[in-house]
Structure 1
Amino acid sequence: MQNQPTFVLVHGAFANSFSFAPLQAELALLGHRSAAVDLPGHGFEATFPAPYQAPQDLDALASERGSITGVTLADNAARVIEVLERAKRNGPTVLVAHSRGGATCTAVANARPELIDRIVYVSAWCPVELEANDYYAEPEMADVDQGALAAALVGNPAELGLLRVNFRTAEAATLAAFKQAFAADLTDDEFRTFLNTFQPDENLDMGTSADRAQAATWGRIPRTYVRLAADASLPPAVQDRMIREGDALTPDNPFDVRTLEGSHLRWLVRPKPAAELLAGLAKL
């Protein structure tokens, strides 16, 4: 097993290690070990305030503090580095990022490239020319409906020191918008089940210009970008732009580009194709 890689899996916004359980089962059945990371303030470190439970008290929820307040991208990176240091004792590591987790993994690769044998972005943020948040103002994001999160936002992020979203809303229009953004190709039951694994709070910090991909460190790691062809929350046009920018930064070490069919969440709910793709990368 010493030459077999460990897949270190890093979740996206409002998610946690629980998201990866079906994928980890498929990887295990293919003979691969994996470790899913809970970033600080996620998983069993998350805050689920009493007013979030039914019956909800949205006024109280808008002011209750959360454990993720003050968590930074640097804190996220430190958590992943700790896991990689331990995993590296057992052989190669493949760092896999989804969605917002890509910003964390890029920061990790900038800081400790020697811990990573391959980095895999699955429809994940890989900021190169801009800070991650700035891509939202770019033409490639013009068709993304950001109204669902805004409609379900609870409290003032500046006052709370975090983003809080009411994923337990019963508003039909908001739920429909969530499904369209994240899981249009899943059944309603699959979508609602995944939504119930989300936590209400996310940290505010997505990094600065110092956290963009750096050629001297990040740029020397073999890397793969797995495009999600029907992703409506991080559209293929944005994914392709980050691939182009990364390739321009280190043309001698371009992305190995793969594509999976489906939405932002389909690969986690129906993970067999993704597990087979990752298993193939372990042989490179």
Structure 2
Amino acid sequence: MQPTFVLVHGAFANSFSFAPLQAELGLLGHRSVAVDLPGHGFAATYPRAYQAPQDLAALADAPGAIKGVTLADNVAHLIGILERARRNGPVVLVSHSRGGLTATVVANQRPDLIDRIVYVSAWCPVDLDVNAYYAEPEMATVDAAGPASAMVGNPAELGLLRCNFRTADPAVLAAFKAAFLADGTDDEFMVFLNTFQPDENLDAGTPDDRARADTWGRIPKSYIRLTEDTSVPLAMQDRMIREGDALTPDNPFDVRTLTSSHLNWLVDPAPAAQVLAELA
């Protein structure tokens, strides 16, 4: 029986970015479901002040629907989707970037719902929580200054992270492109940037949300490395693979590699679809 691929997006993203990948999977004969985590997709907030001409002062204070959304909310939502998908046969859970955190906690809680878990340059916290990994040497090459300059408002007051992806600042746009899609064209980059939503929740988990050997560790797992990723550098991807293998040496990662930046595997999805089809 063919599995259903359940696709989980990363920070500031949504299900829309998976559409080209889903088309490729469909043409290979596979079912897929792209998830919008709570506060994402059509549940996101796009304040009037975010539109042109922008009012950054108003944008800094405008409320957002994702305020108060927690990792636990993401987990409960994804479990509900997996329960429905599981009625139709096997499930392959695929996560990208920050979506790996939600996928990991779901695998800790409900390994019975997942036949294979796949991380695509995604966070798979094992020895540390995600916040702590950012202080590690493998993340030293990440240049967060440019993208950080596009942050709007006080997260503590807003209760969320807000980023002005519609900035016209050429330096910030160049930093975004370098971080997300350096191997894409300028037009591809601008199209993808306009699929991002301005708000993200604050909850990136705790040490209790790391992978557990007794549950997560029972699931067959794969890691798809993205060699040109500068947001989750290859050194960090490889570290998470090593840590996962050390946690469950009898069930190591099946490792695949794509030549891609953080986002180009979604812009040009045929190679990724082929890898996922092989895993199925």
Which TM-score bucket, shorter chain as reference?
Answer: over 0.9
| Separation (CA, whole Å) in 1 of partners of 2:8 and 2:260 | 20
| Separation (CA, whole Å) in 1 of partners of 2:202 and 2:112 | 28
- 2:185 matched to which residue of 1? 187
- 1:200 matched to which residue of 2? 198
- Please show how residues 1-284 of structure 1 align to structure 2 within 5 Å: 3-282=1-280
Q: How high is the TM-score relative to the length of structure 1?
A: 0.98
| Separation (CA, whole Å) in 2 of partners of 1:133 and 1:10 | 20
Deviation at 1:133?
1.0
The alignment of Structure 1 onto Structure 2 pairs a total of residues equal to: 280
SS of structure 1 residue aligned to 2:2: coil
| Separation (CA, whole Å) in 2 of partners of 1:176 and 1:64 | 27
- The runs of 5 or more residues in structure 2 that have no matched partner are none
Report percent identity of matched pairs.
76
> Which residue type is aligned with residue 219 of structure 1?
G
> Which residue type is aligned with residue 84 of structure 1?
L
Deviation at 1:247?
0.5
| Separation (CA, whole Å) in 2 of partners of 1:165 and 1:259 | 30
Superposition misfits of 4+ residues, deviation over 4 angstroms:
none
| Separation (CA, whole Å) in 1 of partners of 2:154 and 2:67 | 13
Query: In the TM superposition, what whole-angstrom CA distance separates every residue of 1:239-260 from its partner, at most 9, and x where no partner exists?
Result: 0000000000010000000000
| Separation (CA, whole Å) in 1 of partners of 2:146 and 2:37 | 24
Q: How high is the TM-score relative to the length of structure 2?
A: 1.00
Query: In the TM superposition, what whole-angstrom CA distance separates every residue of 1:181-220 from its partner, at most 9, and x where no partner exists?
Result: 1100000000000000000000000111111000000000
Deviation at 1:14?
0.2
| Separation (CA, whole Å) in 1 of partners of 2:261 and 2:186 | 14
> Which residue type is aligned with residue 207 of structure 2?
S
| Separation (CA, whole Å) in 1 of partners of 2:192 and 2:235 | 25
SS of structure 2 residue aligned to 1:96: strand
Deviation at 1:223?
0.1
- The runs of 5 or more residues in structure 1 that have no matched partner are none
SS of structure 2 residue aligned to 1:60: helix
Deviation at 1:149?
2.3
Deviation at 1:148?
2.1
| Separation (CA, whole Å) in 2 of partners of 1:178 and 1:133 | 21
SS of structure 1 residue aligned to 2:127: coil
| Separation (CA, whole Å) in 2 of partners of 1:237 and 1:35 | 30
> Which residue type is aligned with residue 253 of structure 1?
N
